[in-house]
Structure 1
Amino acid sequence: MFSVGMALAGIATKGRNTMQQFLKEVGRGKKGAKDLPYEAAKEAAAQIFDGQASDAQIGAFFIAERVKGETVDELLAFIEAARERSTVIPHSLGGVLDCAGPYDGRAKSFAATIPVAAVLAAAGVPVVLHGSGTLPPKYGVSLREILREAGVPTGGDGQTVGRMLNQLGIAFIDTENFCRPLRQLRPVREQLGVRTLLNTAEKFLNLANADYLVAGVFHTTVLEKAAELAVKLGYKRAMIVQGIDGSEDVPVNRPSALYWIQDGTMEKHLIDPKRYGLHAENEPANLTAAEQAASIAGVLQGEHAYRNMVLLNSGLRLWLTERVQNMGEGIELGRSVLDAGDAWKKFEDWRRAPAESP
């Protein structure tokens, strides 16, 4: 039987400008829109990324996908097409953890993922953070802005970032420096001003070939979809959390849902900070980059209002990366690393690292 999927797959192999055909399918409205099969979505991504589609077509496609709702195969196609056009960070480490948060920044939360990364690196787990300049729809404070305020180098080429990861076990990837499609599409995204499928795709590029992933989503409705995506991408272990601000940071003022992915399967869990004695009533925080940087230093140097949040997330990630046998052990290891000053020393080493290759 002939199907729409077969027809689109055929269109995708003809090598001509087919964006209008793709738009006709995904842009039929909420009830009439058709999902693109993987190969057709991959061709649509290629045309968008390689300059074969106009800005009007690109904007229309993103909005149509937003209205229709992106499928896992469509997201996977865009991720893999973007990765094929990216520079992968060279390094010699195994067991790297990719921490994937919102590229549109933090609007009402502390960026715990930064001090947590220092805790993990000090405990022997290599970590990469990544991001770019802030983006819509949130236009919050980006990780890049926070790290620069804290004195951490965020630039450099792939060799620089890879060397930093090899030597310190921690690095930041300014994604647009290594992924041409995201760099070129920034003006369109800023003009649209709304969330697009790229807000999800950029989290899963895995430019450091990490074995482990922790990624955050905002809405419960996309939690399972993101988990299915992580399964298809083949991480050794992954964790998709419904974090604060859509980040990879689990809150301490309430239980939160997450999906644990391992051996091609996904299992839903509920993490309750009260179970680990880490419940705290942290208020929503609209922090500037300078305030974020000061809070990071405060947590890493001693007692601080965000200490419980850092301990909870450190415990989860140490467990995820198989550094410990369970979350309780992870929390205790994180506590010892913080109390010994090892995480602060790691952060200080990171700040002193050269921004460019010698």
Structure 2
Amino acid sequence: MSRAFRELLKKIGSGAHTSKDLTRAEAAQAMTMMLTQAATPAQIGAFLIAHRIKRPTGAELAGMLDAYEQLGPKVPAINSAQPVVILSQPYDGRDRTIPLSILTALVLAAAGCPVLQHGGERMPTKEGIPLIDLWRGLGVDWSGCSLAQIQQILEATNLGFVYLPTHFPQAQALVPYREQIGKRPPLATLELIWSPYAGPCHVVAGFVHPPTETMIQEALTLRGVTEFTTVKGLEGSCDLPQERTAIIGLYSVVDGEASLTRLRLHASDYGLGGKNPAWANLNDSIVAMEAVLDGRFNQLRQALLWNSGFYLWQYNDFENLTEGIQQAAKLLDSGQVKQQLKYLKQVCDTHFQKFCSL
């Protein structure tokens, strides 16, 4: 048993009236002790459920990110004129709507904007579809790549993926606790704002509840992040909804002053409203994705134009959202996005063959 960890656990776990928030340094210490297994399984499980009940603060999330920074993987920086966009999604996946972010990433990559994603396999408590399964369905398996290979692939194709079981086994070792405690721990919020990249990047973090957005803002500001985006997205992801207002926060720090630009966008105003693409199963989703890449019209294409058009507008210097949507359609209709996927497969296959020959 770790007596130092026990003191941290006592601080957050003593009840509604007497529990106290951890300082940033204490949160970093607690996260480090969990990642390194200095704390016992009983202590780790107790901490995760107690922290969920108490609710994390921005300072605590900043401290936990400090620990991830110290112990976690970092893809080496690539030679890029613009920051790498980190498109996040809850690690426990999706089960109501089709994830759009890998198609969005392909569109951005085809436009010259580098994108890095991260995640693992199916995960408690939701056990929804993870991004890695969708990538595999499209013929790309990131699980066997080293960080050096991911850097090379990212530089060549503008696409990369950090796979938790391979690249961050210490964090992967905490996954079973999610099933055992039966609730999402604060780690789920931490993962939405973590950046496993060593160079300039722009984090796009999804959220569901407004207090989570506030925590994200506080944590990243304390970490010295000067620009990031929050999205009240589908199932906590950074996918913009079509059926309701897309609520977006554009955060920046200029001359030491933090500012927020709040966007409220309606897909129907751009002819892209309708139902969010519903999740059925992996096979049907891959078929729909491949149809979109082939230039065919379906419900998923509308959702993709809405999402990729927005992100092209924000991160590829288009004058307005309409221009971003038009460029997304052009990239899809010309076959450039499909070609981007084909090129990604070729580059990944080359790196895999080199790995097997060692």
Same fold, TM-score > 0.5, yes or no? yes
Alignment check: 8 A CA contact 1:104 1:137 kept: yes
Q: Secondary structure at the match of 1:306?
A: helix
Shift of 1:129: 1.6
Distance 1:32 1:178 in 2: 39
1:64 has 2:50 as partner = yes
Counterpart code for 1:157: S
Q: Any idea what the Cα deviations from partners look like across 1:229-278, whole Å, max 9, x if unmatched? A: 33334445321111111111011111121211122433332121122221
1:107 has 2:112 as partner = no
Alignment of 1:178-197 (within 5 A): 178-197=167-186
Alignment check: 8 A CA contact 1:212 1:236 kept: no
In structure 1, the partner of 2:289 is 296
Distance 1:265 1:104 in 2: 31
Cα gap change, 1:84/1:176 in structure 2, threshold over 3 Å: closer, same or farther?
farther
Identity of aligned residues (%): 28
Counterpart code for 2:79: L
1:279 has 2:269 as partner = no
Distance 2:282 2:16 in 1: 39
Distance 1:131 1:52 in 2: 24
Shift of 1:141: 0.7
Alignment check: 8 A CA contact 1:299 1:307 kept: yes
Distance 1:236 1:301 in 2: 38
1:40 has 2:26 as partner = yes
In structure 2, the partner of 1:175 is 164
In structure 1, the partner of 2:85 is 97
In structure 2, the partner of 1:328 is 322
Shift of 1:187: 2.2
Alignment check: 8 A CA contact 1:136 1:189 kept: yes
Distance 2:236 2:311 in 1: 17
Alignment check: 8 A CA contact 1:237 1:261 kept: yes
Alignment check: 8 A CA contact 1:212 1:321 kept: no
Aligned to 1:142, which of 130, 134, 137?
130
Alignment check: 8 A CA contact 2:59 2:218 kept: no
Shift of 1:322: 4.0
- The CA RMSD measured in Å over matched residues stands at 1.8
Counterpart code for 1:326: N
Which stretch shifts more, 117-126 or 262-271? 262-271
1:256 has 2:246 as partner = yes
Counterpart code for 2:333: D
Alignment of 1:160-171 (within 5 A): 160-171=149-160
In structure 1, the partner of 2:116 is 128
Alignment check: 8 A CA contact 1:147 1:293 kept: no
Show structure 1 runs of 5+ residues with no match.
Answer: 1-15
Q: Any idea what the Cα deviations from partners look like across 1:95-137, whole Å, max 9, x if unmatched? A: 2111011110111111111111111000110111211012122
Q: Secondary structure at the match of 2:17?
A: coil
Distance 1:277 1:234 in 2: 38
Counterpart code for 1:321: Y
Q: Secondary structure at the match of 2:174?
A: helix
Distance 2:121 2:167 in 1: 14
Distance 1:275 1:78 in 2: 40
1:230 has 2:220 as partner = yes
Cα gap change, 1:234/1:318 in structure 2, threshold over 3 Å: closer, same or farther?
farther
Q: Report the TM-score, using the length of structure 2 for normalisation.
A: 0.90
Aligned pair count reads 342
